[in-house]
Amino acid sequence: MAETAATTMTDAQFRLLCDVVRAHAGLHFDEGTRYLVEKRVARRMQAVGATSLSAYLWSLRSPGPGSEELVALVDELTTNETYFFREIRQLRALVDEIVPERLVAGGARRGRGPVQIWSAGCASGEEPYSIVMLALEAGLVPGRDLHVYASDIAPSVLTKARRGHYRPASFRETPDPLRDKYFVEKDGLFRIRDEVRACVDFIHLNLLDPSKIALLGAMDVILCRNVIIYFDAATKKRVIDTFYERLVPGGYLLLGHSESLITVSTAFELCHLRSDLVYRRPIPGEERDDPWHRIAAHAAAAVDGGPEGGR
């Protein structure tokens, strides 16, 4: 099949498209990604039979069918490359340290059931399934000890996640014994076993839609790894504020190793676990004097142009 040629946009058209996509999904594109955006827009135009770029861009701003196409375009623009057990030390910290601690905290303070975990931006499901497999290996019981929700803005990857079929590239960091134990190989694909697949609830969710996020309820742990790097500063703050609201006091936020809250939020504290560093929503009344908080407050003030920023 011939590769689709990129659609050349004027500067005004490119800015319009970026504004529409940013308003809908928070994704930020600049000149460095312009050719990629033009190429993927051309694919969508070909898929829907659009012959005019101006008409296509106008349709994205229209209600009804335009909204559906905007979802499809964001799906096309989103890169969803991941694999099982990515940044494994953090996942081990979650299963070996955070979940046991939250089980005790939940029983002592709130009388809640399983630890509530949300994998935000789960792509094709490797992250939430990795959590379940590590939990099973640690002797935890999904449903009793933990409940895993997983969300993404791209319907196509959620379909793949629910199906649970993966190519060998998804196992680049997976020990053979775990792959053999939890997957069945057939025709070059590996299908995750039903007892793992049934432990994750997948949800189509936009991180900029607070009304739908509220339906998830309170969370003990939120993982949003290698996602906010695609957002501009204002959207990062908006999403992180939402995570803060959804976390119970004492709940944890796990970001990717290349991501930081240092210029985004001072609401969280940095926790040193045995295996990794993670963020935590402080408990009211707890003494808080972590050095990271002072550094983050200074950096945030510098960004905002406040007194500490030396503006």
Given 44, 75, 145, 152, the catalytic residue? 152
Q: Is 40 a catalytic residue?
A: yes
Instruction: Compute the radius of gyration of the chain from its Cα atoms.
Output: 21
Longest Cα separation, the chain: 63
DSSP, residue by residue, the chain: -PPPPPPP--HHHHHHHHHHHHHHH-B---GGGHHHHHHHHHHHHHHHT---HHHHHHHHTSSTHHHHHHHHHHHHH------TTTTHHHHHHIIIIIHHHHHHHIIIII---SEEEEEET-TTTHHHHHHHHHHHHTT--BTTTEEEEEEES-HHHHHHHHHTEE-GGGGTT--HHHHHHHEEEETTEEEEPHHHHTTEEEEE--TT-HHHHGGG--EEEEEETT-GGGB-HHHHHHHHHHHHHHEEEEEEEEE-TT---TTT-SSSEEEE-SS-EEEEPPPTT-----HHHHHHHHHHHHHHT-GGGT-
The tokens for 275 are: 């295996």
Among the listed residues 8, 291, 242, 2, the one whose alpha carbon sits nearest the alpha carbon of residue 121: 242
Given 40, 44, 102, 281, the catalytic residue? 40
Active-site residues, by number, are 40, 152
